[in-house]
Structure 1
Amino acid sequence: MVSAANNFTGLILVAGGSYTEREVWIATALADHSPAQPNKKSGVLLEGLPSGQLILENSSLLSVERIAPGCFCCIGQIAMRVTFQRLLRLRLAHLYIAINDAQHLSSLKSIFSQAQYAQLVKCENEIIL
């Protein structure tokens, strides 16, 4: 029997640092998750656009979405919600959301605790670089 907890997508919020630092942190965390869940797909939603080499790329086990710079909870809310909902349809094991400004973490957490999301995601960690 599958428990309801197994249906949640584990949400990891990453904030601060540079775009590259956030992407490297997520790549390292994904490598750490792989042995425990070898066939589970993860997702990444990044605020901003890379300035150089892509560290994270789409694969059969990873879905990567990048949204132009702009606060997810303020001016970028519609783009963030649409992309977030698209990623949730994939029934991911983990979803990493990386934002530029740590001051907006509480607003993001408030959005994800709303009834429509609370049944789908469980905030597992909050990382400030």
Structure 2
Amino acid sequence: MRSNPDGTADDTRTVLTLVTGASARAREAAIAASLSDLHEDGEQAIILEGLASGTSPLDDLPTGQAVARIAPGCLCCTGNLVLRVTLNRLLRRRPSRIFIGVADSEHLDQLRSWLHSEPYDQLLRLTSDLNA
């Protein structure tokens, strides 16, 4: 965390929200609703686990929103490398917020722990989970 000249904290980390829910459509609808409620400048990024089933509520996102889909699988176990590469690519774009749609919340605590470890602890600020 950096300090401003007046001594106050300047948290420049990207805000990250894990999104859980029973279906990909429900998770994507929750993300779309959150994005429409946000009044933030800058790019938001979305990482979705699995393929969309038909049309997605995220299909009509405004320009400047990055959406990446990764193969389904446990994001802290078998999907760790793919998630890490995808997350690193998105972080290079310096989005103000990232949503990660998680298909299986069984290992959510391990995923959260991984996101709190180096180097992500310096790059990300995790929020409360969004349950669709």
TM-score, normalization: structure 2? 0.87
Residue 12 of structure 1: aligned partner: 17
1:17-51 per-residue CA deviation (whole Å, 9 max, x = no partner) reads 10000000000000001x3x2x3110000000011
Q: TM-score, normalised by structure 1?
A: 0.89
Which consecutive residues of structure 2, in runs of 5 or more, have no partner in the other structure?
A: none
Look up the equivalent residue of 1:50 and give its one-letter code.
A
Q: Unpaired runs of 5+ in structure 1? A: none
User: Deviation at 1:61?
Assistant: 2.3
Q: Cα distance, 1:59 vs. partner?
A: 4.8
- Give 2:68's aligned residue: 65
- Aligned match for 2:101, one of 78, 83, 98: 98
Tell me, yes or no, if the aligned pair for 1:9 and 1:122 is still in contact at 8 Å. yes
Task: Using the aligned pairs only, state the percent identity.
Answer: 37
The match for 2:81 is 78
2:77 corresponds to which letter in structure 1? C
Counting only pairs closer than 5 Å after superposition, residues 1-129 of structure 1 correspond to structure 2 as 4-5=10-11, 7-33=12-38, 35=39, 37=40, 39-57=41-59, 59-129=62-132
The count of aligned residue pairs is 125
C-alpha distance in structure 2 between counterparts of 1:18 and 1:80, whole Å: 19
